[in-house]
Structure 1
Amino acid sequence: MSQTITPSQLEKGLSPRERILTPLDEESNRLGEFIQETLAMTGRLFIQLKRRPSTLMAGIIQPFMWLILFGALFYNAPQGMFGGDLNYAKFLAPGIIVFTAFSGALNAGLPVMFDREFGFLNRLLVAPLASRYSIVAASTLYIIALSVIQTAVIVGASALLGAGFPNIAGLGAIALIVFLIVLGVTGLSLGLAFALPGHIELIAVIFVTNLPLLFASTALAPLSFMAKWLQIVASLNPLTYAIEPIRYIYLKGHWSLGSVILDTPWTAINFASVLLILLAFDVLILVAIQPLLRRRFA
């Protein structure tokens, strides 16, 4: 009398590598490997930071100095110059938060560029990775983590200097806005790291774009203080759309997605529209760098 052997009984005699995986199992395994690779490479970047903490310290000390020096520079500004009883520390804090996150994200491509030049990136590209996009994901996670630390320090320092402290909902909104601006700028920086020939060119791009984007935004002054042409430029600058909602959170005790936070030369923009604009900026950057990454990873 023959005995029927079920698939489960057959599977028990096979090693995990010999078992036939379903497409769903394969996708699950691939996702797990991708997460493991991303976390491992993110950990490598934090080990480098631990060995050379000067980068993080400079990223915290510089915005703190900006807050103190600019606050002292405009200490005797006429009362009500920026509207109501607003002091310059409260006006400046959102700009420093966004610009610090922006500067860190703009430098995100440097570690990848150095890996390219020292040959470590080539070793990663020939390694049996589940996805080479884990290289990009690790750098993005690392920069986002640093931005969160820097933002927390600046928010605390700003509170000590008289800017006040947002409520829990406000802190969550600030974290979301910082995440959105950091994601797009990090993607742009990583794209440049793969497109440019060396770190000298990348550093040159960072130096050329850093301060002009700061002064062509509402970080240091409101739109109404600017020349007409600069108002148009600032209204096209993604930094402005990250700074103004955070500034509104600092200034208003109550806010909503329908709150109008920015009057551009062409229309008034509310909180929800600003979030959509930042999201569209991220999508545009990530889509734009996809062909470049595919060519480099091929």
Structure 2
Amino acid sequence: MSQTIDSPEREKKMTTQPVPETGNAIAEFLQETTALTKRLFVQLQRRPSTLIAGIIQPLMWLILFGALFQNAPKGLFGESLNYLQFLGAGVIVFTAFAGALNAGLPVMFDREFGFLNRFLVAPLSTRFSIVVASAVYIVVLSFLQTGIILTAGALMGAGLPGGLGLAAIAVIIFLLVLGVTGLSLGLAFALPGHVELIAVIFVTNLPLLFASTALAPLSFMPKWLQVVATLNPLSYAIEPIRYLYLHPDWNLGSVVMHAPWGDVSFGGALLVLAAFATVLLASIQPLLRRTFA
């Protein structure tokens, strides 16, 4: 009888077994993401040359291009009082874009040196924390670079948007960086090595820069280039930021770009950037799942 009837102590143990909680999974995910993000910042602290170069290069753009067009007639670049006001938006966006495009390099080097395999066999709650950590790292760096460029531009006479305008710039940079970071991470898992990834970065940078409104307004461009520039997602980040420099009384319905096919409002540009980020992040999901499996 003693073998078939459970004791009260055993029944109590069976009824008090811990049940997995969603909160624990979220806490583990945040802990893993924080640790992996901290690892990237430790690498940056040990090798700060990337951050230093990412700050010096846009400052040189502001100084050299600002001096080059210092004597340009007023009104040549639209409503801008000087070329720095016009150029500042392009420098901010292109710096954030270039940094996000390099987001896949640390992952690629982890692949080649075997560290990524260690992460994939580690008891992580979800391997997507590897991707999220890279995105957080790039977003923080982009915000830091944007703050420095805004401050430098203000000191050089380009002015500074108001508080709400600065918040709008943060949203624009976040959406752009999120989409491009997703693209770069997808390339890091799809391409065979860092040489191919660096080649894609070099081939992509300059054409997207010159095929946007970063350096010249749409009215300066031939018709075919105007069409290309309005298909470039960088233009939808540049023009709203440029509008913020010139119009403190902006709103979501303000027209920021006169495209060949119609006017683009501030809210419309944000929707394009949000769609751009969503499509890129969704497109890399199957690749990440196959890689992590």
TM > 0.5 between the two?
yes
Correspondence list, 1:257-276, <5 A: 257-276=252-271
Counterpart selection for 1:191 from 162, 171, 186: 186
Q: CA deviation at 1:20?
A: 2.8
Q: Distance in 1 between matches of 2:239 and 2:285?
A: 30
Alignment of 1:67-216 (within 5 A): 67-84=62-79, 86-216=81-211
Cα shift at 1:83 = 2.4
CA distance in 1, matches of 2:59, 2:69: 16
**Where does structure 2 lack aligned partners over 5 or more consecutive residues?**
1-7
After superposition, the CA RMSD in angstroms is: 1.7
Partners of 2:107 and 2:116 within 8 A in 1 = yes
Q: What amino acid maps onto 2:127 in structure 1?
A: R
* Other structure's SS at 1:80 match: coil
Distance 1:85 1:148 in 2: 24
Alignment of 1:208-227 (within 5 A): 208-227=203-222
User: Is 1:20 aligned to 2:15, yes or no?
Assistant: no
**Using the alignment, how far apart are the partners of 2:80 and 2:194 within structure 1?**
46
Report the secondary structure of 1:261's partner residue. strand
**Amino acid of the residue matched to residue 273 of structure 2?**
L
For residue 13 of structure 1, report the CA deviation from its aligned partner.
Answer: 10
1:232 matched residue in structure 2: 227
Deviations 1:212-231 (A, max 9, x none): 10000000000010011100
Instruction: Note the alpha carbon deviations across 1:239-266, whole angstroms, 9 max, x for none.
Output: 0000000000001121001111111110
Give the drift of 1:12: 12
The residue type equivalent to 1:288 in the other structure is: S
Could you tell me which residue of structure 2 aligns to residue 58 of structure 1?
53
Q: Distance between the aligned counterparts of 1:85 and 1:246, measured in 2?
A: 13
One-letter code of the match for 1:257? L
Name which of 34, 37, 41 aligns with 1:39: 34
Of 243, 265, 274, 1:279 maps to 274
Shift in alpha-carbon separation, 1:225–1:117, aligned structure 2, 3 A = same
Aligned length: 285
* SS of corresponding position for 1:269: strand
Question: CA shift at 1:84, angstroms?
Answer: 4.0
- The CA deviation at 1:128 is 0.9
Q: Is the 8 A contact 2:79 2:246 kept in 1?
A: no
Tell me, in whole angstroms, the C-alpha distance in 2 between the residues paired with 1:111 and 1:288: 21
The normalised TM-score by structure 1 is: 0.93
The answer on whether the counterparts of 2:213 and 2:239 sit within 8 Å (CA) in structure 1 is: yes
Report the CA distance shift for 1:295/1:13 in structure 2 as closer, same or farther (over 3 A).
Answer: closer
| Dislocated runs of 4+, deviation >3 Å | 9-14
How far the C-alpha of 1:31 sits from its partner, in A, is 1.2
Paired letter, 1:106: L
Counterpart-to-counterpart distance in 2, 1:83 and 1:287: 37
Distance 1:198 1:85, change over 3 A: closer
The share of aligned pairs that are identical, in percent, is 68
Partner of 2:5: none
Instruction: Give structure 1 stretches of 5+ with no counterpart.
Output: none
